[in-house]
Amino acid sequence: MFELLSEMWSFAFMRRAFVVTTVLSASVAPVGAFLVLRRLSLAGEAMAHAITPGIVIGFVTAGLSVMSLLVGGLIAGVGVAMLTALLARRTILRSDASLASLYLIALAVGIFILSAAGSAVPLKSFLFGSILGIDDASMLLVGGVATVTLVAFAFLLRPLIVSTCDPVFFETQTRRPWLVDQGFMLLLVLNLLAAFKTLGTLMAVGLMILPATAARYWASTITAQLVLGFIFALSSCWIGLTLSYLFPETPSGPAIVLVAGGIFLISAIFGPLGFGKRARKPVVSSDLSVTQIQQEEKAQ
């Protein structure tokens, strides 16, 4: 085992992959946890498609520049999030229907531009990931997004908890409650963009959601879910990278997500809040409440 680890660590591309996935796991874990708690798991998948036209336009206009793809994807993602919020507030459509409509339009626009430009082959590595070929610019991008995400959660954690557990109470106590939602969606877009060079936008959603849903089967408090989500994400990355090294024909991104899927299935079967609990006694809702939050704060 130690010989295998030493052999893998002797290659620079493997060292880069292990470092960047460690940082990425710390960044996507809190985002994924609140996507699950706020019942927005499919929103992550929708936003992954919504940033496609921005990435495509950035690629067509400026080539393989990380900054151009970042700016293009960020504009597209933030634009879709803002339009979704506007439609939900000003029209009869709810936010889920608005987001579904807009991301389908954005995806169609991205595919149309991609086909018209005739430059699809180089872009595939961005959409589906090339974690073993990560460069310095992409590592700086992941590190910067992780720093912004963790610092932002230091300020947004409490408002996110309250708005997740009791949105009506939160709206009555806050003048602009939509700022928290938009801030969270901005962090989601940033993390998707940070991961498109490593796991690809589609695989990045799996790394966000699967560890978070697996952690949900083991813990009922937000703190425990955040910690377990990070541990499961990190384990998925490291085991997936090891498998892709042992079996060279195995793509790294899908291997990581498949390991995360395996952790999810094991958690669903053996977790105290999974099938085992249903077999023993009726499940009591594990949704957090403001009272539970106050009790946790007093205990701390």
CA distances from 203 to 74, 76, 123, 291, 295 (A): 18, 19, 15, 36, 37
Domain residues for 31? 2-299
CA distances from 234 to 17, 19, 27, 52 (A): 12, 10, 11, 26
CA dihedral 123, 26, 50, 100 (to 10 degrees): 140
Number of domains in the chain: 1
Structure tokens given for 218: 């083991």
pTM (2 decimals)?
0.81
Structure tokens given for 17: 């992959």
Buried b vs exposed e over 101-112: b needs ≥16 C-beta within 10 Å? Answer: ebbeebbebbee
Q: For residue 96, what is the domain's CATH number? A: 1.10.3470.10
45: burial class by Cβ within 10 Å (0-12, 13-18, 19+)?
middle
Task: Return per-residue pLDDT of the chain as tens, 300 residues.
Answer: 677 777 777 888 888 989 999 999 999 999 999 999 888 877 777 888 788 788 878 877 776 677 877 888 888 888 888 888 888 888 887 777 888 888 888 878 877 877 776 655 455 565 566 777 788 888 898 999 999 999 999 998 998 988 888 888 888 887 787 788 888 988 998 898 888 777 876 677 889 999 999 999 999 888 999 999 999 999 999 999 998 888 877 788 888 999 999 999 999 999 999 886 655 554 444 445 555 555 555 555
CA distances from 217 to 35, 88, 160, 229, 274 (A): 15, 32, 21, 11, 5
151: burial class by Cβ within 10 Å (0-12, 13-18, 19+)?
exposed
Pick the closest to residue 168 from 77, 264, 290, 50 (CA basis): 290
Helices (H) then strands (E): counts for the chain: 15, 0
